C-alpha cells in the first residue's frame, strides 16, 4: 500500500482515539466482560494460546486498552502495539490486570504498517477490531504478519463482515454497476470505499497470501455497543 494511504488511516485513528474516547473505551471494557462477544474471544484466545506446547511470544496488533492481555496464556512475552497514545496509556493497566500472567510486557507506540520489529518474530499474533476496520487488511499486511511469525506460529485477526452490512439498495446498485457510466461508477467507488471485506474478497486475499493453512470463520457480534459481524482469519505458518 502507498505510504500516504496508511498514513491517512493513521491520522483518522489517532483523531478518533483521543483521551476522551479512550477513557470511554476503558469504561466500557468492564461492561464488555458480561457480553457474549467477550466469552467468544475468551474461548478463541485462550484456546489458541493454550494449544502451544511451549511458552510463547505474542504480539497484539492495535492492543488498545489491553482488553485481552489476560486471555493470553502460556506466554513469556507479550508485545502490544498501538498508534493511539491515550489507548496505550490505558494498556499500562490492562483489563483484569491481576489475571495477566506474563513475565514481560512491552508496549509500543507505533503503526503496525511501518514499525520496524527488526529480527523479532512471534509465535502468536492477534488483532481484534483493527484490521479490515480502522486499517486495511491487504496483501502487504497479511504477508507482513506472516513474516513476523515463527514457524508453526498462528495469526488470529478479525475483519468486519461487509456482506451482512449490504442492504437491498446497495445490492441492487452493485448489480447495475457494470452498466453504469464511468462518472457514476466513480461516485459509487468513492461511496463504497471501505476497509471492510466480503467473504469472497477475504478468501481471494488469503489464497494470494503466503498462508497456505488458514480458515475463515464468521462471528456475529452482540456486545451491546457495536452491532455487526466479523470474519475471523486463523492462519498457521508452516
Ligand atoms: C476498536 S480498537 C480495538 C482495541 C483492542 N484490540 C480491543 O479489541 O479492545 C482499535 C485499536 O486499533 C488501533 N489501531 C488502528 N490502526 C492501527 C495501526 N495501523 N497500528 C497500530 N494500532 C492501530 C487504534 O488506535 C485502537 O486502539
| Residues 173-224: tens digit of each pLDDT | 999 999 999 999 999 989 888 999 999 999 999 999 999 999 999 999 877 7
Q: Is the CB of 126 under 6 A from ligand 1?
A: no
CA of 32 to the centre of ligand 1 (A): 16
Domain definitions of the chain by residue range: 3-161+196-236, 166-194
82 CA to centre of ligand 1 in angstroms:
6
94 Cβ inside 6 Å of ligand 1: no
Report yes or no on whether pTM surpasses 0.75: yes
Pocket of ligand 1 contains residue 129 by CB under 6 Å: yes
Q: How confident is the model at residue 166 (pLDDT cuts 50, 70, 90)?
A: confident
Residue at grid coordinates 488498545: 64
Which CATH code is given to the segment(s) 3-161+196-236?
3.40.50.150
Q: State what percent of residues in the chain have pLDDT above 70.
A: 98
pLDDT, tens digit (0-9, with 9 covering 90-100), for 59-77: 999 999 999 999 999 999 9
Percent of the chain residues past pLDDT 90, beyond the cut: 85
83 close to ligand 1 (CB < 6 Angstrom)? yes
pLDDT given for residue 4 in this prediction: 61
The answer to whether the CB of 58 is under 6 A from ligand 1 is no
The per-residue pLDDT for 76 is 98
Amino acid at each position: 500500500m502507498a505510504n500516504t494511504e496508511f498514513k491517512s488511516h493513521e491520522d483518522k485513528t489517532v483523531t478518533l482515539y483521543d483521551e476522551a474516547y479512550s477513557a470511554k473505551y476503558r469504561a466500557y471494557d468492564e461492561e464488555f466482560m458480561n457480553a457474549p462477544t467477550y466469552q467468544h474471544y475468551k474461548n478463541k484466545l485462550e484456546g489458541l494460546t493454550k494449544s502451544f506446547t511451549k511458552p510463547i511470544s505474542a504480539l497484539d496488533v492495535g492492543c488498545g486498552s489491553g482488553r485481552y492481555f489476560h486471555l493470553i496464556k502460556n506466554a513469556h512475552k507479550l508485545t502490544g502495539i498501538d498508534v493511539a497514545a491515550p489507548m496505550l496509556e490505558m494498556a499500562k493497566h490492562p483489563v483484569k490486570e491481576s489475571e495477566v500472567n506474563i513475565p514481560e510486557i512491552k508496549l509500543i507506540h507505533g503503526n503496525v504498517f511501518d514499525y520496524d520489529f527488526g529480527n523479532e518474530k512471534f509465535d502468536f499474533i492477534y488483532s481484534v477490531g483493527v484490521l479490515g476496520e480502522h486499517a486495511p487488511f491487504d496483501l502487504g499486511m497479511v504477508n507482513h504478519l506472516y513474516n513476523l511469525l515463527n514457524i508453526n506460529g498462528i495469526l488470529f485477526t478479525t475483519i468486519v463482515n461487509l456482506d451482512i452490512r449490504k442492504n437491498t439498495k446497495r445490492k441492487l446498485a452493485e448489480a447495475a454497476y457494470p452498466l453504469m457510466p464511468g462518472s457514476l461508477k466513480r461516485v459509487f467507488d468513492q461511496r463504497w470505499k471501505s476497509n471492510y471485506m466480503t467473504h469472497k474478497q477475504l478468501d481471494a486475499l488469503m489464497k494470494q497470501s503466503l498462508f497456505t493453512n488458514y480458515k475463515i470463520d464468521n462471528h456475529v457480534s452482540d456486545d451491546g455497543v457495536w452491532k455487526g459481524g466479523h470474519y475471523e482469519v486463523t492462519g498457521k505458518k508452516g
